[in-house]
Amino acid sequence: MFTDATEWLAQWLAPADAFEARLRLEQVRVVANNNKSSGLLNPVMAVILAIIDLQWASVPVVCAWLALNLASVLFMVVGSRRALARNYASDRAGRFTADVLLCTLPFLLVWSTMVLFVWVPGNPINNGF
């Protein structure tokens, strides 16, 4: 079932012509390479933010968010490396896009949920942070 959904996504994301396919491959390669290199900085940033968040949220809540974040970074980096190693041809640009998107999406979702873990209503410093 997951393979069928991935293939559907790949077809839906497939560029219309050969020029767009070559352009898409290069654009997604840039994203995948950035994902690989962010595997060093994102965990450091997440730990720093988690330490700051401890003033508003409990240790278990902050640790849960941090663990999810670190796992999603690992998933994104490994997935991006695998996608780059496959060296997709132009006619598989949709599949390459789907593969990189699916390994990046968990990181984007987890990172954006930090507000759900540490939001303190009526605290302007917390809310601004």
Quick: pLDDT tens for 60-79: 999 999 999 999 999 999 99
Chain centroid offset of residue 98 CA: 12
Quick: pLDDT tens for 113-127: 888 888 888 888 877
Counting beta carbons within 10 angstroms of the beta carbon of residue 46, is it exposed (0 to 12), middle (13 to 18) or buried (19 or more)? buried
What pLDDT score does 62 carry? 93
Q: Which two tokens stand for residue 45?
A: 């940033």
User: What is the distance between the alpha carbons of residues 118 and 129, in angstroms, rounded to a whole number?
Assistant: 10
Distances from the Cα of 73 to the Cα of 7, 20, 42, 81, 108, angstroms: 24, 29, 7, 12, 9
